[in-house]
Structure 1
Amino acid sequence: MKFVVLLAAVAALSSAASFPGKTEHYRGNQLIRITVEYEEDLKWLRNIEEKMNLDFWTDPSTIRPVDVMVPRDFTSEFKRMLNKRELYYKVLRQDLQDDVDNDLAEAMRALQKKARIGIQTLDDFDYSIYHPFDEIQQWATDVANEYSFVTKFKFGETYEGREIGALEIAAPANAMASDPKPVVYFEGGIHAREWISPATVMFFTGKLLEMYNNGDADARRVLGMFDLHIVPSLNGDGYVFTWTDERLWRKSRQPNPDFGCVGTDLNRNFDAFWGQNGASPWPCSIVYRGFTPLNNPETTAVDAHFQALKAAGRVTKVFIDWHSYSQLILAPWSYSSAAELPAESENQLAAAAAMAAAMNSTNSVAGGYIHGPSARLLYEASGASNDYGFASTPAATYTYVVELRDTGEYGFVLPADQILPSGEESYDGVIALLDYVINNDYD
């Protein structure tokens, strides 16, 4: 079965590479970083974003560097506009197609090599490369087969009918554990182009299980106190589309009736302050919120899972949605920078601080990880997962969006050589966060 999955992945990627129209979307497109110092300039950029539907990789809503992908036929004019407004800018990536080609070529070489080798075991799984969706699902199956206390279950289905696989890690309880143990929920891949997210979630999951089997005290402690529910790749349709058609696709693939634009930003589609700031009612926007909350099967699956946990009397302690990029740990609120912070904010931020410190000490990553309330540190985003995790059905106190590497040099086309360091620092961050909860808020 695994060999068949490998051959299918190679065939799909080979097919995509054979059609230049599918792989040349970004030829000549540049990633430009703009230095913004005044609110008037942010307003000007937001107006451009709305009118020209440019793909802003960092939202022009707070005073900080703003990254935007500019199409090749607009780069000269856009730079002229920036110069006229006396805005300093720097070209981070001269031709994004080169980065996309490098991503896909590296993935192709790795898949072809594995296909030549043939049948492999979980021990052979290569965490240092990006994997297609079917391989991610096969990995989950192999993990469940390898460990007696791990179960793979059907989390839901995507719009195009792909099964979303999830893992439940339910190791034997420690003597001090609650009965039943609280749930920790980790979700990756909600935004299709953020390949580092599923790769990192798989890495730290695999390491946690391996360390547990080896008798490591940290792994034994946290898995003995919590049951982990892990969805490595939620937006399967979008993720597949990034491998076969458009590497920088962000949204789901559910059509929007009466509009030519496909997809919803799933991280604006949750039933938490839906339809307010930082989400667009326009289906062609990359932050399109959907016609109604939870109107995509992927977000419906998340909600159904937590409705079932609530009905079963299960407590969810931690909810983390793993993203890229910017190296941030973002606590509620996302929907408003003006809203009063939750009463639990002190604990949320202290746990995030412990997580950031552990991640920063692992590899001394350039720029470091910083933490804070999402809308105040980054930008406003209503209908977002971390607000849903805290304010809605899960009601998990420790709810975050984690933005992984990097701080913009590569952005969403992060080279595969960044996967292992990202996974290592995230593993240490997870241990530190869960230890904080155990020591300060476990019941």
Structure 2
Amino acid sequence: MIPNIGKLIREQELLSQSSNSVGISFDQYNSLEDIEAYLNEVADSNNNATLRSIGKTVEGRDIWQLKFSVGSGKPAAWFDCNIHAREWLCFTWSNDRMWRKNRNKYDGELCYGIDLNRNFDDHFGGEGTSGESCAETYRGPSAASEPETQATQAAIIDLAENANLEVLYSLHSYSELWMYAFGWTDELPDEANELHRVTAIGVDALAAVHGIEYTYGPISTTNYPASSNTVDFGYYHGVTHSYTLELRDKGLHGFLLPENQIIPTAEETWAGLIAATLAV
């Protein structure tokens, strides 16, 4: 339970409304339009970077993939961010700060929204998902029913088959956790020892920056059961080193992390990701 959540939401809304900066700022939360403009600038100014839309959301917004070439034969890494809206994009800026799902609604359903991280085509409908449309973890009517999920799955499969994809990171907030497969069961994958080894390296490197110590282990037992998620999908399509990170904090602010923690969070997370990737 986050204390004074209404007060925190109002304070964050005022900060986003009062910002008059031009372009993107790394020490404040930025609108989707500003983020998209920044991604275009990165692609335009870097010969090794390309930006392309891999699909559209239910609302008709582009789903962007920013790709950096790393050289022939070198392993590729996938970073999956903001799969839950309150982590923090779109609809949540203007309507409901704590909205989690996409904005789809099927005929006959009472409520809007499918939890995209319960919609992947892997053990669909399993533990940790709901068949009720009003639930936060509503999985949708069928596996990969959502355009956002379809685009992400296709991109992961393409990279796994054609670009030597060896590492997948799904970045979320909050709880300070670093986790690996599985979410659908408490059984361990065959490579559990290797996944644990790499995770420990990432967690130690992260903690060395600002002293934040992450808890780590399999999704289902470290956090809670969560079937049909990005990490399990990646694992079952050949990306053994698939990880979920739940960033700062442990619940004092939760999804409403103060802006003065953005840069420290980025610094420690990047150090952990680089260390883990190099350890693969």
TM-score category (smaller protein): over 0.9
Task: Quote the Cα distance in structure 2 between the aligned partners of 1:435 and 1:310.
Answer: 18
Question: Superposed, which structure 2 residues align to 1:178-189 within 5 Å?
Answer: 179-189=72-82
**Match for residue 244 of structure 2 among 396, 401, 414:** 401
Q: Which amino acid in structure 1 is aligned with residue 63 of structure 2?
A: I
Deviation at 1:157, TM superposition (A): 0.6
**Match for residue 196 of structure 2 among 320, 339, 349:** 349
The answer as to 2:126 corresponding to 1:283 is no
TM-score normalised over the length of structure 1: 0.61
Deviation at 1:310, TM superposition (A): 4.7
Matched residue SS, 2:254? coil
Residues 320 and 146 of structure 1: is their aligned pair in 2 closer, same or farther, counting only changes over 3 Å? same
Task: Check the 8 A contact 1:326/1:407 in 2, yes or no.
Answer: yes
Deviation at 1:271, TM superposition (A): 0.7
Q: Counterpart of 1:308?
A: 158
Deviation at 1:152, TM superposition (A): 0.6
Deviations 1:391-429 (CA, angstroms, capped at 9, x unpaired) = 1x3x11110110000001011111111100000001101
Bigger helix share = 1
Task: Quote the Cα distance in structure 2 between the aligned partners of 1:256 and 1:412.
Answer: 28
Q: Counterpart of 1:93?
A: 3
Q: Counterpart of 1:435?
A: 278
Task: Check the 8 A contact 1:140/1:166 in 2, yes or no.
Answer: no
Task: Quote the Cα distance in structure 2 between the aligned partners of 1:240 and 1:306.
Answer: 23
Deviations 1:205-225 (CA, angstroms, capped at 9, x unpaired) = xxxxxxxxxxxxxxxxxxxxx
Identical amino acids, percent of aligned pairs: 32
Matched residue SS, 1:93? coil
Task: Check the 8 A contact 2:156/2:234 in 1, yes or no.
Answer: no
Question: Superposed, which structure 2 residues align to 1:93-242 within 5 Å?
Answer: 93-94=3-4, 96-110=5-19, 112-114=20-22, 125-171=24-70, 173=71, 179-195=72-88, 239-242=89-92
The answer as to 2:112 corresponding to 1:262 is yes
Question: Superposed, which structure 2 residues align to 1:381-392 within 5 Å?
Answer: 381-391=226-236
Q: Which amino acid in structure 1 is aligned with residue 204 of structure 2?
A: A
Deviation at 1:260, TM superposition (A): 2.5
Deviations 1:325-376 (CA, angstroms, capped at 9, x unpaired) = 1100011011112x2x1111111111110000011110012xx212101111
Task: Check the 8 A contact 1:256/1:283 in 2, yes or no.
Answer: no
Q: Counterpart of 2:172?
A: 323
The answer as to 2:225 corresponding to 1:380 is yes
Task: Quote the Cα distance in structure 2 between the aligned partners of 1:359 and 1:305.
Answer: 28
Matched residue SS, 1:317? strand
Deviation at 1:129, TM superposition (A): 0.7
Matched residue SS, 2:224? coil
Q: Which amino acid in structure 2 is aligned with residue 194 of structure 1?
A: E
Task: Quote the Cα distance in structure 2 between the aligned partners of 1:308 and 1:343.
Answer: 24
Structure number with larger C-alpha Rg: 1
The answer as to 2:201 corresponding to 1:358 is no
Q: Which amino acid in structure 2 is aligned with residue 330 of structure 1?
A: M
Deviations 1:295-324 (CA, angstroms, capped at 9, x unpaired) = 00000001111333355x332100111001
Query: Which sections of structure 1, spanning at least 5 residues, go unmatched?
Result: 1-31, 33-91, 115-119, 174-178, 196-238, 438-443
Residues 360 and 140 of structure 1: is their aligned pair in 2 closer, same or farther, counting only changes over 3 Å? same
Calculate the aligned-residue CA RMSD, in Å. 1.3
Deviations 1:92-139 (CA, angstroms, capped at 9, x unpaired) = 413x221111111111222x243xxxxx5xxxx411111111111111
Matched residue SS, 1:136? helix
Query: Which sections of structure 2, spanning at least 5 residues, go unmatched?
Result: none
Matched residue SS, 1:412? helix
Specify which structure has the bigger relative contact order, considering alpha-carbon pairs within 8 angstroms and separated by 6 or more residues: 2
Q: Which amino acid in structure 2 is aligned with residue 379 of structure 1?
A: Y
Matched residue SS, 1:142? helix
Task: Quote the Cα distance in structure 2 between the aligned partners of 1:334 and 1:418.
Answer: 29
Instruction: Count residues with an aligned counterpart.
Output: 280
Task: Quote the Cα distance in structure 2 between the aligned partners of 1:161 and 1:375.
Answer: 33
Deviations 1:13-70 (CA, angstroms, capped at 9, x unpaired) = xxxxxxxxxxxxxxxxxxx3xxxxxxxxxxxxxxxxxxxxxxxxxxxxxxxxxxxxxx
Deviation at 1:190, TM superposition (A): 0.4
Task: Quote the Cα distance in structure 2 between the aligned partners of 1:428 and 1:346.
Answer: 22
